[in-house]
């Protein structure tokens, strides 16, 4: 595939801890499995973690820093995933890079990656300051990750405002850590509440899933070993939708079965 068709996708949220890095790792593996040559770029120089979630932390020799200072070639810094060789990580450099890194530097790195990959996924730092703006400069489109909580949605809204003003598009939404039971009890913002408020198309819906934690313990993203858990299926489906496949979204209220779920649905009936 020619460099012109490479997709540069920023994965961002505003608020920290909502699941950006987890999504980047799982999406990277899923895309690679589907045959796309995929690079994941850790743009969170302050608090890098992408290497750890991918289980690649012990194989890092060079980082984006050495690539930029031309003390190594891009190929030397890229860490290829053993099980999924279509996936490579470009690790973040030393946190002190934040002092001199400019948006142009990130654009340069992204352009270099674009020569070799179909997808460049950029794991953005939290916040809306310099680090985020650097990461945004490398992207053409964006996935905004949020959870159904007021603070996360508010911060997502801020980020969407910045993405809009920079002309980054399309912007799509991944709603993470959805708890069907709480939603059924109307103790959590509904999916439509969040999509209405943020006015973004929904690219994926990821349930709260303990297996996410187990997978981070091991450094093996859920999408690596089949689709055994709800979150694994969700991440795989996000990848398929990105590739243009029409995969229906899950309905959180149908994720629960039994009499309690039926009552929960009944209670949600709109009367007037």
Ligand X SMILES: Nc1ncnc2c1ncn2[C@@H]1O[C@H](COP(=O)(O)OP(=O)(O)O)[C@@H](O)[C@H]1O
Q: Which residues bind other proteins (CB under 8 A)?
A: 149-150, 153-154, 157-158, 160-161, 164, 183, 185-190, 193, 197, 199, 266-272
Among 208, 227, 247, 253, binds ligand X (CB under 6 A): 208
Q: Is 22 in the site for ligand X (CB under 6 A)?
A: yes
The sign one gets for the Cα dihedral 216, 220, 222, 223 is positive
Residue 49 CB, nearest distance to Mg ion (Å)? 5
3-state secondary structure of 187: coil
Question: In the numeric block, which tokens belong to residue 193?
Answer: 């509440």
Binds 245: which of other proteins, Mg ion, ligand X, none (CB < 5-8 Å by kind)? none
Residue 16 CB, nearest distance to ligand X (Å)? 4
Backbone angles phi, psi at 194, to 5 degrees: -70, -45
Q: At what angle do helices 230-242 and 20-33 cross, to 10 degrees?
A: 70
What's the rounded Cα separation, in Å, for the pair 194 and 178? 11
Give the strands of the sheet with 141-146, arranged side by side. 79-80, 87-90, 38-42, 119-123, 7-12, 141-146, 171-178, 202-207
Q: Is 146 in the site for ligand X (CB under 6 A)?
A: no
Residue 264 CB, nearest distance to Mg ion (Å)? 33
Residue 52 CB, nearest distance to other proteins (Å)? 33
Task: State the pairing for strand pair 87-90/79-80.
Answer: antiparallel
Bridge partner list, 7? 119
Residue 11 CB, nearest distance to ligand X (Å)? 8
Binds 209: which of ligand X, Mg ion, other proteins, none (CB < 5-8 Å by kind)? ligand X
Q: Is 212 in the site for ligand X (CB under 6 A)?
A: yes
Residue 213 or 271 with smaller CB distance to other proteins: 271
Q: Which residues bind ligand X (CB under 6 A)?
A: 13, 16-22, 49, 126, 176-177, 206, 208-209, 212-213, 216, 231
């Amino acid at each position: 595939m020619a460099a012109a068709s490479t997709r540069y996708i920023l994965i961002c949220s505003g608020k920290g801890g909502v699941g950006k890095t987890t999504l980047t790792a799982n999406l990277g593996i899923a895309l690679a499995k589907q045959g796309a040559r995929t690079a994941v770029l850790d743009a969170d120089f302050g608090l890098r973690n992408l290497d750890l979630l991918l289980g690649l932390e012990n194989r890092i020799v060079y980082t984006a820093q050495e690539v930029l200072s031309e003390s190594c070639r891009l190929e030397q810094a890229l860490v290829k995933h053993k099980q999924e060789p279509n996936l490579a990580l470009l690790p973040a450099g030393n946190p002190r890079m934040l002092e001199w890194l400019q948006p142009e530097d990130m654009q340069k790195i992204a352009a270099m990656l674009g020569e070799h990959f179909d997808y460049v996924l950029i794991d953005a730092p939290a916040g809306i300051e310099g680090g985020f703006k650097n990461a945004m400069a490398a992207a053409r489109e964006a996935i905004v990750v949020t959870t159904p909580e007021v603070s996360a949605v508010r911060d997502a809204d801020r980020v969407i405002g910045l993405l809009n003003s920079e002309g980054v598009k399309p912007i799509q939404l991944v709603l993470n850590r959805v708890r069907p039971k709480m939603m059924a009890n109307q103790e959590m913002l509904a999916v439509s509440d969040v999509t209405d408020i943020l006015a973004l198309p929904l690219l994926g819906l990821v349930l709260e899933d303990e297996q996410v934690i187990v997978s981070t313990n091991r450094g093996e993203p859920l999408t690596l070993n089949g689709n055994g858990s709800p979150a694994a299926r969700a991440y795989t489906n996000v990848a398929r939708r990105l590739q243009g496949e029409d995969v229906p979204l899950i309905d959180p209220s149908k994720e629960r079965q039994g009499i309690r779920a039926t009552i929960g649905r009944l209670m949600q009936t709109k009367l007037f």
